[in-house]
Structure 1
Amino acid sequence: MLLSHCEPCSTSSGSRLAIPLLLAGILCAPWAAVRAEAVAPPPVDACALLTKADVEAVYGSVVGVPNGKALGSGPYWAAMCNYDNAHTDAPMLSVGLLVKAHGAADPAQAYAEYVDELRRELGDVAVPVPVEGLAGPAGWDADTGQLTVFEGPYQIILSASGRFAGDRLSFGKQIAERVSGRLPNP
């Protein structure tokens, strides 16, 4: 298994919903086939890319301190960050980000391989709906509330679960734009 060398994440109860969705992105993406022509960028800090202020501004809910985690090394790294409600009496909200190097020569190739792998492993029902207007090729899964964006050498997976007012895809796109603006240019 790809993540067998990684330490388990400790999470609060709200983050437990977002983390399986984010880990699915690691396991379903063509991560094991990093090719020689694509140099992996150095690891990033996911909580520096998705801030508490971002989550609160977009979702309109006060969240607690981030729960971040870095996994792997070399070209096989991933960084995660999750935010949960700060107030226990508020409707549950959990927002997560996973960033990793996709390993393909370009984002379009990485997205195509990602979709092919999802289709092969999980069937057509798992293939995300293409999303326009973001920095790179992107797909949306309304069932899981997961937006996946390929920008430069990075794969960005955003996940939101819980009860909040508004369009989940619109919120995901707003968060993706904020995260994309902070990605380093390797």
Structure 2
Amino acid sequence: MLLSHCEPRSTSTGSRLAILLLLAGMLCGPWPAVGAEAAGAPPVDACALLTKADVEAVYGLVVGEPNGKELGSGPFWVSMCNYDNAHTDAPMLSVGLLVKPHGVVDPTQAYAAYVDELRRELGDVAVPVPVEGLAGPAGWDADTGQLTVFVGPYQIILTAAGRFSGDRLSFGKQIAERVSGRLPKP
């Protein structure tokens, strides 16, 4: 299994929470047969897509340096990046990004397959609320603070956890716009 190569690493509670939420989202999403477009989806560095400056500008809190990880190769790769402010006196904040190719040529079809898989495996309670106005089909899970967006051949999953003030979905949409604009164009 792809995740068997992960090694435990000392992280703050906020980082672990965000990483666990991201990994849960990754495991819930389908790995369908790879289409022509997805096979050519070049790997990206999640920490280059989501910068420290982005997180600080959107959330208004100082965060530490990124904690990134890349797994897999070929059409089955995943890139993750997490920021937290565990070493400050500010309210706890942990923001993470997971990027992977979705394996379907059309992002709308990929999103539909993702929702169907969530519904089949976890029931209707796990189906995200559709979100309009982003670069591709998107869904929001308020319980986990997770925004999933399908842009071109990529699936991006943004997660925010902590005791920060503000509308988590609004912040997620701002981050998604920044990240989507930096993805390679097909």
Q: TM-score normalised to the size of structure 1?
A: 0.94
What amino acid does structure 2 have at the position aligned with 1:7?
C
Report the Cα distance in structure 2 between the residues aligned to 1:88 and 1:34, rounded to whole angstroms.
44
Report the Cα distance in structure 2 between the residues aligned to 1:40 and 1:172, rounded to whole angstroms.
27
| Per-residue deviation, residues 33-82 of structure 1 (Å, max 9, x unmatched) | 23343424121000000000000000000000000000111000000000
**Aligned pair in 2 of structure 1 residues 117, 51: CA closer, same or farther (>3 Å)?**
same
Report the Cα distance in structure 2 between the residues aligned to 1:47 and 1:99, rounded to whole angstroms.
10
What amino acid does structure 2 have at the position aligned with 1:176?
A
What amino acid does structure 2 have at the position aligned with 1:89?
D
Aligned to 1:43: 43
Report the Cα distance in structure 2 between the residues aligned to 1:29 and 1:103, rounded to whole angstroms.
11
**Aligned pair in 2 of structure 1 residues 11, 22: CA closer, same or farther (>3 Å)?**
farther
**Aligned pair in 2 of structure 1 residues 36, 145: CA closer, same or farther (>3 Å)?**
closer
Report the Cα distance in structure 2 between the residues aligned to 1:10 and 1:48, rounded to whole angstroms.
21
What amino acid does structure 2 have at the position aligned with 1:116?
D
Aligned to 2:95: 95
The runs of at least 4 aligned residues of structure 1 exceeding 6 Å deviation read none
Give the count of matched residue pairs.
184
- Map residues 160-179 of structure 1 onto 2, 5 A cutoff: 160-179=160-179
Contact (CA 8 Å) 1:46, 1:80: kept in 2 or not? Answer: yes
Aligned to 2:9: 10
Q: TM-score normalised to the size of structure 2?
A: 0.94
What SS does the aligned partner of 1:3 have? helix
The structure with the greater share of residues assigned to helix is: 2
1:182 aligned onto 2:182: yes
Deviation at 1:20, TM superposition (A): 1.0
Contact (CA 8 Å) 1:2, 1:27: kept in 2 or not? Answer: no
What SS does the aligned partner of 1:69 have? strand
Aligned to 2:33: 34
1:64 aligned onto 2:64: yes
What amino acid does structure 2 have at the position aligned with 1:84?
D
Contact (CA 8 Å) 1:75, 1:101: kept in 2 or not? Answer: yes
Contact (CA 8 Å) 1:37, 1:105: kept in 2 or not? Answer: yes
Q: Which segment drifts farther, 116-125 or 82-91? A: 82-91
| Per-residue deviation, residues 96-118 of structure 1 (Å, max 9, x unmatched) | 00000000111000000000000
| Per-residue deviation, residues 137-177 of structure 1 (Å, max 9, x unmatched) | 00000000000000000000000000111100000000000
Report the Cα distance in structure 2 between the residues aligned to 1:135 and 1:168, rounded to whole angstroms.
18
Contact (CA 8 Å) 2:86, 2:93: kept in 1 or not? Answer: no
Aligned to 1:117: 117
Report the Cα distance in structure 2 between the residues aligned to 1:36 and 1:152, rounded to whole angstroms.
12
Cα-Cα RMSD: 1.3
